[in-house]
Amino acid sequence: MLAWLAPLLVLGLVVFVHELGHFLAAKICGVYAPRFSLGWGSPLWRWRRHGAETEYVIAWLPVGGYVRMASRDDDTMSKIEGGNEAAPAEDAPREKGWDEDSMIPHGPKPIPEHRWFESKPTYQRVFILLAGVTMNALLAWVVVAGIVLARGKEIAPDVVPAVVGQLVPDRPAVKAGFALGDSVIRVDTAVIRGWPDFLREVTARPGATMQVEVIRAGASTTLTVTADSVRERDPVTGERRLVGRIGMGPHVVTTRVPVGFGEAVTLGATGTIRMGTEVINVVRGLFGGTVGVDQLGGPIAIARASVATARNGWEPLFTLIAFLSINLAVLNLLPVPILDGGQIIVTVAEGVRGKPFTLKTRENLMKAGVALILVLFSIVMFNDIKSLVTSFLG
């Protein structure tokens, strides 16, 4: 059941938090916000408490959401989103929920000029536009901190034993016959007491052939391996040098220890978001491991990733939420007029020039942004449908 509810949780939470940021910032700055919508287009469900300013909506197109803010010249976005601040004609039928004591569009009262978005100073408008991506970053931080708090942190041993835990295909170690679980005890005449000793001996022998003695299933076995010559940068001197490598890694047994709330918050704030193995595999499986135009995924791909990830439990699912939340923040900062980044650029430009752009200029910028978003939406939906058809056909 969790798996099939996962798309609603992932998409709904990430979009809701983003729009909540805009909404709260608008309220703080005194901007009239008559609609808070999850999704675009005509409402499927709407609710407004009698006498309240804001109507809450779930719309039919589940690709994002919006907060409708009072704007004296935002008719273009009003039509796109499905909202409208214009007062209805006197002989027009009143919608359900019409309130004679409310402002347009919920009632007949005009919106005071100081409640319009454009009436606010530049710094407040930028604050409102940045609030969405800020909330997405905050969501990712809270999720990562919560995961750290719930699962603790892993501590590696002080001394890593020279036990084979990783083998790279088609590299010298595999060709020489090394197996997972082998314990290395000697390289030529050098005694090996831990993985650092073994790594030091191999590093010092680029292109050389060496006799490596291992313990396997309680018995001693000697393997002959020739190290590859690899040019790497010395971590101390910074100079590039030839080193020996055989394509093998250690088996590290870590210990998981609990962390306190303060440490979890610190790790969540300073650490990068590391997707779990399950999430990485799902994303690679859906998008082909690369991010070309023909592999961009949309709502269907995200829904599939959510379902597949949820089958592995809560932690991978919430890791995916954090990952998508950060990506939504980055996407919204792109300098496209319809997105937050583009609107911030326009707002700052208007503040620098000391007057707003003409209505015609703003409409052209917005239409160009809408065109770009529609092109991107068409690409990701085509990729989604193609991926579904390919999966169905096996």
Dihedral angle, C-alpha 384, 386, 389, 393, nearest 10 °: -130
Please calculate the CA angle 299-64-124 and round it to the nearest 5 degrees: 150
Per-residue three-class SS string for the chain: CHHHHHHHHHHHHHHHHHHHHHHHHHHHHCCCCCEEEEEEEEEEEEECCCCCCCEEEEEEEEEEEEEECCCCCCHHHHHHHCCCCCCCCCCCCCCCCCCCCCECCCCCECCCHHHCHHHCCHHHHHHHHHHHHHHHHHHHHHHHHHHHHHHCEEECCCCCCCEEEEECCCCHHHHHCCCCCCEEEEECCEECCCHHHHHHHHHCCCCCEEEEEEEECCEEEEEEEECEEEEEECCCCCCEEEEEECCEEECCCCEEECCCHHHHHHHHHHCCCCCCHHHHHHHHHHHCCCCCHHHCCCHHHHHHHHHHHHCCCHHHHHHHHHHHHHHHHHHHCCCCCCCHHHHHHHHHHHHHHCCCCCHHHHHHHHHHHHHHHHHHHHHHHHHHHHHHHHHHCC
User: What is the chain's alpha carbon radius of gyration, rounded to the nearest angstrom?
Assistant: 29
Residue type, 228: D
User: pLDDT tens for residues 152-207?
Assistant: 777 767 778 899 999 999 999 999 999 999 999 999 999 999 999 999 999 999 99
Please calculate the CA angle 144-317-307 and round it to the nearest 5 degrees: 165
- How many CB atoms neighbour CB 362 within 10 A? 19
Q: Among candidates 306, 302, 203, which has minimal Cα distance to 245?
A: 203
The torsion angles phi and psi of 284, rounded to 5 degrees, stand at -65, -40
0.85 surpassed by pTM:
no
pLDDT tens string for the chain (394 positions)? 556 677 777 888 888 999 999 999 999 999 999 999 988 778 888 898 888 899 999 988 776 788 989 886 655 545 444 444 444 445 445 566 677 778 888 888 888 989 999 899 999 999 999 999 999 989 988 888 888 888 777 776 777 889 999 999 999 999 999 999 999 999 999 999 999 999 999 999 999 999 999 999 999 999 999 999 999 888 778 888 999 999 999 988 777 777 777 777 776 665 544 444 444 444 444 444 444 444 455 666 666 677 777 777 777 788 888 888 887 888 888 888 888 998 899 899 988 888 888 878 888 888 888 888 788 777 777 766 776 677 666 5
Contact 222, 213 (CB under 8 A): yes
Polymer length in residues for the chain:
394
For each of the domains in the chain, give its residue range(s) and CATH number, in order of start: 2-89+100-148+325-392 (no CATH), 164-250 (2.30.42.10)
User: pLDDT tens for residues 94-136?
Assistant: 566 677 778 888 888 888 989 999 899 999 999 999 999 999 9
